[in-house]
């Protein structure tokens, strides 16, 4: 065989293996039907992974908030907090694994995870170029739905993004091939089952929350096969929900990013559902509109486990510049509110969400700037916990926001 044939065979073999793996994954998805029922558990175990960079500090503030909100259940032994220490970049680099085996075991022994941002290595930095811990955890625990709400009550914005969280450009993001010194190929995957489960979740959310519209975002005019399938599945499912009064429209990702900046149109959107990478990008934009990526939380939901985190990274620069104590914990506290809601404490989740809006968008008695001209994360957390308990302030806020 000449060199070209050797290369071709290697590429074909690689592709064949990926396809085989995906066919098996589809079979597993077909069998997976059961959802964990938190109400039936005697004790819910919340695993806390601090992560890297500012993660170490904002996770502690969030854990403090959760311990406060769940103080009764914690005292009664109905909730356990478990610290999982090994998800640091140092430990992951040492094992050259996105999530070392023993850490994954500890994670799987919990019911839900509160996770601080973790460093994602890239070629050329000081760490081995291992896969992102986020991406690995989403895949290993099959956390297929990434739910990211963005709310600006005074502008009438109440968005909820349903980002497909395991497939798309991410699933094989670390499994592309350099065919030779000139050619690199990555693989993007959309399955019927993977698309259906996230799209259905978005429509169910719309139905259960009085929403009238679900917006599907793709680039199916160009990425015809995978995005094409996503769009086709969305149309099929939309037809089922028509009788519930839910409309469905499809936008391309490029114009959607523009429309989010259009104050005259953007409040009309309610629920979004989109493949992984588009969801990654647009939720940063949406969070920025809300007040910065530091203000948005993220729920990674699967049938058996769920993980809650900030939408942003570990901001190592804040640590090297000694600013980590000024990092805004709001994103992780929002994620903590999502965790509360997910395990059944809906009223308390709403209290916490409201307190976050009061502190960052209304009263603003203590302001975080990320620098020493603002409050520390600890001061902000104390302020937030005061607001959660202040009925007069909540009343004023409701009047202001028109709720
Ligand atoms: C996010 C983050 C992650 C992602 C990174 C850290 C791998 O940007 O949660 O949005 O790309 O999904
Ligand atoms: Mg992102």
Is 367 a residue whose pLDDT tops 90? yes
Q: Name the pLDDT band for 154 (thresholds 50, 70, 90).
A: confident
The rounded Å distance from CA 51 to ligand 1 centre is 14
What lies within 8 Å, CB to CB, of 264 at 6+ separation is none
Is 262 a residue whose pLDDT tops 90? yes
In what helix (H) or strand (E) does residue 283 lie, and over which residues does it extend? helix 276-290
Read out DSSP for 124-154? TSSS--PPPHHHHHHHHTT--EEEEEEEEGG
More confident residue, 325 or 402: 325
Instruction: Tell me the best of 134, 161, 311 to mutate to test the pocket of ligand 1, counting ligand atoms within 8 Å of each CB and taking the most.
Output: 134
Among all bound ligands, the one having the nearest atom to the CA of 284 is 2
User: For residues 265 and 232, is the Cβ–Cβ distance under 8 A?
Assistant: no
Task: Read off the pLDDT of residues 227-244 as tens digits, 9 standing for 90 and up.
Answer: 999 999 999 999 999 999
pLDDT at 341: 97
Q: Is the CB of 132 under 6 A from ligand 1?
A: yes
Residue 229 in tokens: 């399938």
pTM score = 0.94
Instruction: Tell me the best of 166, 168, 173, 280 to mutate to test the pocket of ligand 1, counting ligand atoms within 8 Å of each CB and taking the most.
Output: 280
The rounded Å distance from CA 327 to ligand 1 centre is 18
- Buried-state track 279-310, b at ≥16 Cβ within 10 A, e below 16: bbebbeebbbbbbbbbbbbbbbbbbebbbbbb
Q: Name the pLDDT band for 389 (thresholds 50, 70, 90).
A: confident
Q: Is the CB of 134 under 6 A from ligand 1?
A: yes
The arithmetic mean of pLDDT across residues 256-278, rounded, is: 97
The rounded Å distance from CA 341 to ligand 2 centre is 22
In what helix (H) or strand (E) does residue 161 lie, and over which residues does it extend? strand 157-164
The rounded Å distance from CA 41 to ligand 1 centre is 31
The rounded Å distance from CA 278 to ligand 2 centre is 10
User: For residues 186 and 172, is the Cβ–Cβ distance under 8 A?
Assistant: yes
């Amino acid at each position: 065989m000449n060199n070209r044939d050797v290369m071709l065979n290697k590429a074909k073999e690689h592709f064949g293996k990926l396809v085989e793996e995906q066919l098996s994954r589809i079979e597993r998805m077909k069998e997976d039907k059961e959802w964990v029922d938190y109400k039936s558990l005697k004790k819910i175990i919340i695993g806390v992974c601090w992560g890297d960079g500012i993660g170490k500090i904002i996770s502690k503030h969030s854990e403090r908030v959760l311990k406060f909100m769940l103080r009764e259940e914690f005292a009664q032994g109905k909730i356990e907090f478990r610290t999982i220490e090994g998800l640091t970049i140092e430990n992951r680099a040492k094992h050259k694994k996105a999530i070392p085996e023993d850490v994954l075991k500890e994670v799987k022994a919990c019911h839900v995870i509160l996770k601080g941002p973790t460093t994602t290595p890239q070629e050329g930095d000081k760490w081995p170029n291992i896969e992102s811990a986020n991406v690995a955890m989403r895949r290993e625990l099959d956390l297929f739905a990434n739910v990211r709400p963005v709310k600006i009550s005074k502008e009438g914005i109440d968005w909820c993004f349903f980002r497909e969280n395991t497939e798309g450009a991410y699933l094989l993001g670390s499994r592309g091939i350099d065919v030779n010194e000139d050619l690199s190929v990555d693989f993007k995957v959309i399955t019927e089952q993977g698309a259906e489960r996230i799209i259905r979740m978005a429509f169910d959310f719309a139905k259960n929350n009085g929403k009238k519209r679900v917006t599907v975002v793709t680039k199916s005019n160009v990425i015809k096969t995978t995005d094409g399938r996503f769009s086709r599945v969305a149309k099929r499912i939309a037809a089922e929900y028509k009788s519930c009064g839910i409309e469905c429209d499809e936008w391309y990702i490029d114009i959607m990013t523009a429309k989010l900046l259009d104050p005259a149109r953007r409040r009309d959107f309610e629920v979004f559902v989109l493949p992984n990478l588009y969801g990654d990008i647009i939720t940063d934009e949406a969070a920025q509109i809300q007040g910065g990526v530091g203000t948005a939380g993220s729920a990674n939901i699967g049938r058996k486990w769920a993980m809650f985190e900030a939408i942003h990274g570990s901001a190592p620069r804040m640590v090297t510049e000694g600013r980590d104590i000024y990092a805004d914990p709001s994103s992780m506290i929002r994620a903590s509110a999502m965790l509360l809601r997910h395990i059944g404490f809906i009223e308390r989740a709403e209290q916490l969400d409201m307190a976050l809006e009061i502190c960052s968008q209304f009263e603003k008695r203590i302001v975080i700037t990320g620098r020493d001209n603002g409050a520390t994360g600890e001061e902000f957390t104390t302020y937030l916990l005061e607001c959660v308990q202040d009925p007069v302030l909540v009343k004023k806020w409701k009047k202001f926001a028109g709720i």
